[in-house]
């Protein structure tokens, strides 16, 4: 994509953001309101612990902590206990607990004003019977009894070629088939209306065209949707280091959001990549792009960006791409004060000790108290080799790094601080 095309897209999204900001402060469109603080309520090992009952006991405190949405792991029967190799999509007895326990958890979440988000795994589905090629590409004896036509031709089926990246080792679903899309929409409506989910997180979203996600959202009408479009960042140089310019990386995420008609948000993998590089190497200059804006998706389309430090894939016991543990509070100080919709990981809140938990919740309290939201304007004041400093909505100032910095104007009070970070609020 040329620079002129890229600039047109950026201007279009900035225009859409200004139109959104001019709309009423509260509406039925959760993305447009932009006040979400999401809690990922599981890790890679949660299936071992009777998870639905564990979470139900935590619901009252999660509500007090200030979260708005609670992202749950896949709830359907699965070949793998974590839920990411689904088989019978209508069976809610899983390694996390029984259907009765799940429904009890969802009821309690809603009673406490928390929106449950379902992890939607529809890129691939494990078959129940062998079909063509002696592969498990049929789904006999269960709801959605698809045959080989529901499986892409490049993963052992009789369907069309995949419209995205291939998830290796299992049948990938052919979303180009009308009967497949119809069945998936019916299932999503069941999750919404009968089971009681308020939002969806689309797993492995790069595996199929965003057009299909647009159709699924339009057909099932979740209050909030988030896509996991995890793409490789730009690396180069003699040491193959992360490149300063990640515009093409974040543009691919923005293009996916565009493909959904703007109906879905997406996880801001660009911000994660740049932020963890900045905190590890103290290269704070990375946190300002060439236009003086935040360098992730939050610099292009913040109302559709869900920022995060780690999740069940990047962190936990998988640790595919973990945020450096000694710097996680610097990471949270950034994403919780900045535009976008921050997502907090279970491990950091409940398994990293009381001080980490208190520090995270102090930041959440500041965001709530000062009414920061996904489109909050940010003015980057410093971004060099010593510090990063920014002012958000003229209500909050924050800094990262060891350098000496604080707001110079009167009426600023230190709200919270820790190793290599500090946050002030205007009083």
What single DSSP character describes residue 191?
I
Q: Please tell me the number of Cα atoms within 13 Å of 359 on its side-chain side.
A: 21
3-state helix, strand, coil in the chain (%, to 5): 40, 20, 45
Q: What percent of the chain has pLDDT over 70?
A: 93
Known active-site residue 194: no
Q: What is the mean pLDDT of the chain?
A: 94
pLDDT of residue 242: 97
pLDDT of residue 231: 96
Length of the chain: 427
- pTM for this one? 0.94
pLDDT of residue 409: 87
pLDDT of residue 13: 57
Beta strand extents in 328-373 (DSSP E only): 341-345
pLDDT of residue 19: 40
Task: Please state, in angstroms and rounded to a whole number, the distance separating the CA atoms of residues 410 and 407.
Answer: 8
pLDDT band with cut points at 50, 70 and 90 for residue 21: very low
pLDDT band with cut points at 50, 70 and 90 for residue 15: very low
Catalytic residue, candidates 36, 148, 183, 203: 203
pLDDT of residue 278: 98
Candidates 317, 325, 321; CA nearest to 348 is 325
Known active-site residue 148: no
Give per-residue pLDDT as tens, 329-373: 999 999 999 999 999 999 999 999 999 999 999 999 999 999 999
pLDDT (average), residues 253-259: 98
pLDDT band with cut points at 50, 70 and 90 for residue 406: very high
pLDDT at 150 over 80: yes
**What domains can you pick out in the chain, each with its CATH number?**
3-377 (3.20.20.80)
pLDDT of residue 33: 85
Give per-residue pLDDT as tens, 92-140: 999 999 999 999 999 999 999 999 999 999 999 999 999 999 999 999 9
pLDDT band with cut points at 50, 70 and 90 for residue 27: very low
Give per-residue pLDDT as tens, 34-75: 999 999 999 999 999 999 999 999 999 999 999 999 999 999
pLDDT at 413 over 60: yes
pLDDT (average), residues 165-180: 98
pLDDT of residue 237: 80
Crossing angle for the helix pair 269-281 and 247-259, nearest 10 degrees? 160
Return the H-helix or E-strand segment holding 415.
strand 412-418
Q: Per-residue DSSP letters for 258-322?
A: HHTTT-SEEE-HHHHHHHHHHHHHT-GGGGS-TTSS-SSGGGT-GGGEEEES--TTTSTTT-SSP
Task: Please state, in angstroms and rounded to a whole number, the distance separating the CA atoms of residues 287 and 338.
Answer: 12
pLDDT at 24 over 70: no
């Amino acid at each position: 994509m040329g620079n002129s095309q890229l600039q047109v897209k950026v201007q279009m999204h900035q225009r859409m953001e200004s139109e959104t900001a001019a709309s009423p402060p509260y509406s039925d469109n959760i993305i447009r309101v932009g006040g979400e603080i999401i809690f990922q309520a599981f890790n890679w090992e949660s299936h071992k612990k009777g998870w639905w009952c564990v979470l139900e006991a935590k619901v009252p405190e999660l509500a007090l902590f200030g979260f708005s949405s609670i992202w749950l792991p896949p709830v359907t029967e699965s070949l793998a206990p974590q839920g990411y190799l689904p088989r019978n999509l209508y069976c809610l007895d899983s390694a996390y607990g029984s259907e009765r326990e799940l429904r009890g958890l969802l009821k309690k979440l809603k009673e406490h004003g928390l929106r449950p988000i379902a992890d939607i795994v529809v890129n691939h589905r494990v078959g129940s019977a062998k079909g063509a090629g002696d592969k498990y590409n049929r789904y006999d004896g269960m709801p959605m009894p698809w045959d080989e036509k529901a499986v892409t031709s490049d993963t052992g089926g009789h369907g069309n070629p995949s419209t995205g990246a291939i998830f290796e080792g299992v049948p990938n679903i052919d979303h180009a088939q009308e009967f497949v899309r119809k069945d998936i929409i019916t299932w999503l409506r069941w999750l919404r209306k009968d089971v009681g989910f308020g939002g969806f997180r689309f797993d492995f979203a790069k595996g199929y065209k965003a057009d299909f996600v647009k159709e699924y959202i339009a057909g099932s009408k979740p209050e909030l949707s988030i896509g996991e479009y995890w793409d490789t960042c730009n690396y180069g140089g003699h040491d193959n280091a992360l490149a300063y310019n990640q515009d093409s990386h974040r543009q691919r995420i923005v293009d996916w959001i565009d493909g959904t008609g703007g109906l879905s948000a997406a996880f801001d993998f660009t911000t994660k990549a740049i932020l963890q590089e900045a905190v590890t190497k103290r290269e704070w200059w990375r946190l300002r792009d060439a236009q003086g804006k935040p360098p992730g998706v939050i610099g292009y389309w913040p109302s559709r960006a869900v920022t995060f430090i780690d999740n069940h894939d990047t962190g936990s016991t998988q640790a595919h791409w973990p945020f450096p543990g000694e710097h996680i509070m610097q990471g949270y100080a950034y994403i919780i004060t900045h535009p976008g919709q921050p997502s907090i990981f279970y491990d950091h809140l409940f398994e990293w000790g009381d001080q980490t938990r208190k520090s995270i919740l102090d930041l959440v309290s500041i965001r709530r108290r000062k009414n920061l939201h996904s489109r909050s304007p940010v003015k980057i004041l410093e971004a060099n080799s010593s510090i990063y400093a920014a002012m958000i909505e003229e209500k909050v100032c924050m800094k990262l790094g060891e350098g000496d910095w604080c707001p110079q104007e009167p009426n600023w009070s230190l709200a919270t601080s820790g190793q290599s970070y500090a946050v002030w609020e205007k009083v």
